[in-house]
Structure 1
Amino acid sequence: MIDLLYADDVMVVVSKPDNLLSVPGIGEAKRDCLVTRLQLEFPTIRIVHRLDYATSGLLVLALNAGSHRALSIQFQERVPKKRYQALVTGNLAETQGKIDLPLSPDWENRPLSKVDLENGKPSLTHWQCIERQSEHSRVLLYPHTGRSHQLRVHLLAIGHPILGDVFYTDEAEHQQHPRMMLHADQLELRHPLSGEWMVFESPCPF
């Protein structure tokens, strides 16, 4: 089910469920996605940014060419503020920190990404640990950049991969969880017409 949080004449904000593509994949079997479902109610809808198939949470979409251009420029200039919540393996030693590691596609293992100190693109994630349990921690994640699989690879790189991640944890580990424990729970941006600063929240489902 797609949770519609906001809609006007130029944009909509929704919370995408986990295990749903943001846009159609290759082939008829991968046509079902967030955009095709929303087109039934909003025929002119256009994607602005994406979430991974396994990630749930907030996305803003445009309803015409003008708002699509304005919102896309915001994301290019890193105006929006995005926050994610995740459950990760183990207990982080510190309460907060940052992960500043360049990333690039792992071409031999597509669609994975990897830390690449020589040729990777600059990638920065700030994090805050808000809860420690016996075998895992709950963290808030603030990506400054938006590389493919950035949060997943960054957390793996510091030894705390996201629970339920089928790409970056072994099968015995991810089989213990019903989904990948990563949710985009807060999104802040400017309205593409009025310029009003808007804040949206989606409660974490895990």
Structure 2
Amino acid sequence: MSEEELNARLLYRDGLMLVIDKPAGIAVHQGPHGGENLGDYFHMLRFGLPRAPALAHRLDRDTSGCLVLGRHHKALERLGLLFKQGKIEKTYWAIVEGAPTQDMGLIDLPLGRLDESRGWWMKVDPKGVPAQTRWRVLARSESHAFLGLEPLTGRTHQLRVHCAALGWPIVGDRVYGRGGAMGLQLHSRAIKIPLYKNKEPVSVEAPAPSHMDAMLSACGLSGLPGEAGQALRIEPGAGQIE
């Protein structure tokens, strides 16, 4: 990835953090088998600071959208605490096979590791950790639904396992669904971060990715708000943790 391509994916910047629009199909950090990862390019996002930014959280390899980076150690500590305390609001877009019978609801199913040989693969497990996802149907087609998903907890593969457990796996999910050539139809659409005291939370949106265009069109949607011409937000006055 070139510096120009990476900068084109920058959605927000201030003195403490960056938010980038992660492309689908690339890991955010190096895995046990090596290979290309997004972290290889973070040095291009220093913007005058002596060190590269680092991940404040993670997205799956095949998930696109809002990814938050802390620009230095204190910022990472603050962001990490906000994520841990569940104070950061996240909204995902997903296209699922089949459709919920209702228009909205709450999935409350605890999750545990599938088994020790499957790494981070997860399953619904009554003895697992609590996991909650609020969902809402945004559009429907004959065979699919376009959902807005809000994870109230931050468990590994939570949205993917929860949707599959209710009988509507996310399209393109190779682990919990049937896979497919069009890729995982899961996008981190928006994030709201209460980083600064006495200020409104920082709200950032990532435009709909091109690999979801065909399925969105099948659900009768095109030209979604924010899909084109997303302007970079730069907040030069922000950057002090009070």
Normalising by structure 2, we get a TM-score of: 0.78
Deviation at 1:54, TM superposition (A): 0.7
User: Do 1:71 and 1:192's aligned partners in 2 also have CA atoms closer than 8 Å?
Assistant: no
Between the aligned partners of 2:196 and 2:52, the Cα distance in structure 1 is: 16
Counterpart residue type for residue 183 of structure 1: H
In structure 1, the partner of 2:121 is 112
- For residues 155-205 of structure 1, give each alpha carbon's deviation from its aligned partner in whole angstroms, at most 9, with x where no partner exists: 0000000000011123xxx22x41100000000002357754111001222
In structure 2, the partner of 1:189 is 193
User: Do 2:105 and 2:134's aligned partners in 1 also have CA atoms closer than 8 Å?
Assistant: yes
Between the aligned partners of 2:172 and 2:90, the Cα distance in structure 1 is: 22
- For residues 36-90 of structure 1, give each alpha carbon's deviation from its aligned partner in whole angstroms, at most 9, with x where no partner exists: 2122332421111000011001011101111111111111111110000000001
Alignment counterpart, residue 15 of structure 2, candidates 9, 24, 27? 9
Counterpart residue type for residue 61 of structure 1: L
SS in 2 for 1:167: coil
> For the structure 1 residues 49 and 195, does the alpha-carbon distance in structure 2 shift closer, same or farther, using more than 3 Å as the test?
farther
User: Do 2:44 and 2:52's aligned partners in 1 also have CA atoms closer than 8 Å?
Assistant: no
Between the aligned partners of 1:150 and 1:33, the Cα distance in structure 2 is: 22
* Deviates most, 9-18 or 179-188: 9-18
Counterpart residue type for residue 21 of structure 1: A
Alignment counterpart, residue 98 of structure 1, candidates 103, 106, 113? 106
Q: Root-mean-square deviation (CA), in Å? A: 1.6
Residue 153 in structure 1 maps to residue 161 in structure 2 = yes
In structure 1, the partner of 2:40 is 36
Between the aligned partners of 1:73 and 1:16, the Cα distance in structure 2 is: 22
Deviation at 1:33, TM superposition (A): 1.5
Counterpart residue type for residue 94 of structure 1: Q
Between the aligned partners of 1:41 and 1:189, the Cα distance in structure 2 is: 20
Say which structure is richer in strand.
1
In structure 2, the partner of 1:179 is 183
Between the aligned partners of 2:198 and 2:57, the Cα distance in structure 1 is: 20
Normalising by structure 1, we get a TM-score of: 0.91
User: Do 1:67 and 1:192's aligned partners in 2 also have CA atoms closer than 8 Å?
Assistant: no
SS in 2 for 1:153: helix
SS in 2 for 1:155: helix
User: Do 1:186 and 1:199's aligned partners in 2 also have CA atoms closer than 8 Å?
Assistant: yes
**Count of residue correspondences:** 199
Identity rate of aligned residues, in percent? Answer: 33
SS in 2 for 1:37: helix
Give unmatched runs, 5+ long, in structure 1.
none
> For the structure 1 residues 40 and 10, does the alpha-carbon distance in structure 2 shift closer, same or farther, using more than 3 Å as the test?
same
Counterpart residue type for residue 77 of structure 1: Q
Between the aligned partners of 2:72 and 2:197, the Cα distance in structure 1 is: 12
User: Do 2:131 and 2:154's aligned partners in 1 also have CA atoms closer than 8 Å?
Assistant: yes
User: Do 1:22 and 1:35's aligned partners in 2 also have CA atoms closer than 8 Å?
Assistant: yes
Counterpart residue type for residue 10 of structure 1: L
In structure 2, the partner of 1:67 is 75
Larger Rg: 2
* Deviates most, 158-167 or 4-13: 4-13
Give unmatched runs, 5+ long, in structure 2.
213-242
In structure 2, the partner of 1:204 is 208
